């Protein structure tokens, strides 16, 4: 059996000029970057759907000029599936490696294990244990000994909670290999700034959208989990001339009747949207 050699170009992500994170998290990520120069590290990012977990990984790669590769754990059903597959060509069996082994052996690579708690079969994660442990190596008959290169950073992201269908509790032995970062929605005034800059709407429009969205998130009877991703979708429709009401109706994943009843309730409420106490700053190449 032969092994096909197919080189894939790993690239550095594009920097997002309007990506905000908590100031404390910015400091921690800088320290993680420093620590990774001593040995590869693992960072688990947990939080609500659409709050920017995957974007954080890409921004980390962009800020520190690191090649970055994203891998969907949700499609895995058996161990070794990340590494490659057996193929048959002209009557000869060969092994075709995927991008994952190359990423492991690329110095300074950011490796994103996306939705790590959503594999089709939890046993599919078994081959990650030794890679994420102190040994940082694994033997495969098809590829030989694979050692994790210097300065590699592993990010795993996950939505955690009973409301996320198809997710599994992360094995404590696997979770123990990670530093943990918790993410939440960005504060209203920051979210409005991001909308205005990225979608090209006015700040007044952005503030109005954010006020409604945060009331939907915190509604006492029928709360709706509106992601930052969805709020940007709403802003983009508004930028094209759609009314804020219609943009919300067509962007949220709920029935129109249900949403209409909530919007009517919100119209009768006068509660203010409170800002969080945390300070948020741009995550870019400058350290404040």
pLDDT of residue 48: 85
Predicted confidence band of residue 277 (pLDDT cuts 50, 70, 90):
low
Average pLDDT of the residues in 169-182: 91
Choose the most confident range, by mean pLDDT, from 79-88, 155-164, 217-226: 79-88
For residues 23 and 58, give the distance between their C-alpha atoms in angstroms, rounded to a whole number.
18
Would the pTM of this model clear 0.85, i.e. be above it?
A: no
pLDDT of residue 122: 85
For residue 254, pLDDT beyond 80: no
121-155: pLDDT as tens digits: 888 899 999 999 999 999 998 899 999 999 999 99
Structure tokens at 126: 């078994």
38-78: pLDDT as tens digits: 999 999 999 888 889 999 999 999 999 999 999 999 888 88
pLDDT of residue 3: 61
Question: Using alpha carbons only, what angle is made at residue 231 by residues 193 and 18, rounded to the nearest 5 degrees?
Answer: 35
Average pLDDT of the residues in 216-220: 80
Domain 2-183: state its class. Answer: alpha beta
pLDDT of residue 288: 64
CB atoms within 10 A of CB 253: 10
pLDDT of residue 6: 53
Predicted confidence band of residue 272 (pLDDT cuts 50, 70, 90):
very low
How many residues are listed for the chain in this entry? 288
pLDDT of residue 144: 94
95-129: pLDDT as tens digits: 889 999 999 999 999 999 999 998 888 888 999 99
**C-alpha distances in angstroms, 194 versus 9, 115, 215?**
31, 25, 19
For residue 233, pLDDT beyond 70: yes
Show the 3-state SS of the chain.
Answer: CEECCCCCCCCCCCCCCCCEEEHHHHHHHHHHHHHHCCCCEEEEEEECCCCCHHHHHHHHHHHCCCCEEEEEHHHCCCCCCCCEEEEEECCEEEEEECHHHHHHCCCCCEEEEECCCCCCCHHHHCCHHHHHCCCCEEEECCCEEEECCCCCEEEEEECCCCCCCCCCCCCHHHHCCCEEEEECCCCHHHHHHHHHHHHCCCHHHHHHHHHHHHHHHCCCCCCCCCCHHHHHHHHHHHHCCCCHHHHHHHHCCCCHHHHHHHHHHHHHCCCCCCCCCCCEEECCCCCC
For residue 259, pLDDT beyond 90: no
For residue 8, pLDDT beyond 70: no
Average pLDDT of the residues in 171-199: 93
| High-pLDDT (> 70) share of the chain, % | 85
> Which residues, 6+ apart, have CB-to-CB distance to 243 below 8 Å?
none
For residue 274, pLDDT beyond 80: no
Question: Using alpha carbons only, what angle is made at residue 164 by residues 210 and 249, rounded to the nearest 5 degrees?
Answer: 35
For residues 101 and 104, give the distance between their C-alpha atoms in angstroms, rounded to a whole number.
5
On whether the CB atoms of residues 259 and 249 are closer than 8 A, the answer is: yes
CB atoms within 10 A of CB 252: 21
pLDDT of residue 5: 56
**C-alpha distances in angstroms, 173 versus 76, 126, 130?**
19, 11, 11
Average pLDDT of the residues in 74-100: 87
For residues 156 and 54, give the distance between their C-alpha atoms in angstroms, rounded to a whole number.
9
- β-pair type (144-147, 137-140): antiparallel
On whether the CB atoms of residues 131 and 82 are closer than 8 A, the answer is: no
Predicted confidence band of residue 275 (pLDDT cuts 50, 70, 90):
very low
Round the average pLDDT of the chain to a whole number and report it: 86
Average pLDDT of the residues in 198-225: 88
pLDDT of residue 262: 66
């Amino acid at each position: 059996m032969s092994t096909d050699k197919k080189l894939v170009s790993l690239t550095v992500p594009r920097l997002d000029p309007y990506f905000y994170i908590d100031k404390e998290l910015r400091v921690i990520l800088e320290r993680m970057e420093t620590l990774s120069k001593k040995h590869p590290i693992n960072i688990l990012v947990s939080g609500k759907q659409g709050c920017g977990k995957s974007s954080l990984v890409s921004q980390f790669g962009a800020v520190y000029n690191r090649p970055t590769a994203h891998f969907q754990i949700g499609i895995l059903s058996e161990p070794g599936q990340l590494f490659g597959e057996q193929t048959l060509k002209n009557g000869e069996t060969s092994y075709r490696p995927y991008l994952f082994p190359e990423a492991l052996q690329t110095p300074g690579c950011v490796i994103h294990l996306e939705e790590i708690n959503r594999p089709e079969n939890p046993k599919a994660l078994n081959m990650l244990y030794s890679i994420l442990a102190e040994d940082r190596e694994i033997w495969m008959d098809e590829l030989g000994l694979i050692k994790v290169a210097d300065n590699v950073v592993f990010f795993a992201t996950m939505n955690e909670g009973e409301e996320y269908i198809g997710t599994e509790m992360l094995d404590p032995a696997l979770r123990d290999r990670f530093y943990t970062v918790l993410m939440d929605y960005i504060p209203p005034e920051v979210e409005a700034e991001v909308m205005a800059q990225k979608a090209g709407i006015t700040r007044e429009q952005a503030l109005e959208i954010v006020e409604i969205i945060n009331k939907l998130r915190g509604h006492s009877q029928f709360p709706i989990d509106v992601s930052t991703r969805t709020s940007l979708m709403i802003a983009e429709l508004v930028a094209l001339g759609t009314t804020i009401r219609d943009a919300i109706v067509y962007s949220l994943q709920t029935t129109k009747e249900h949403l209409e009843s909530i919007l009517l309730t919100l119209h009768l409420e006068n509660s203010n949207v409170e800002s969080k106490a945390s300070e948020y700053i741009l995550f870019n190449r400058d350290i404040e």
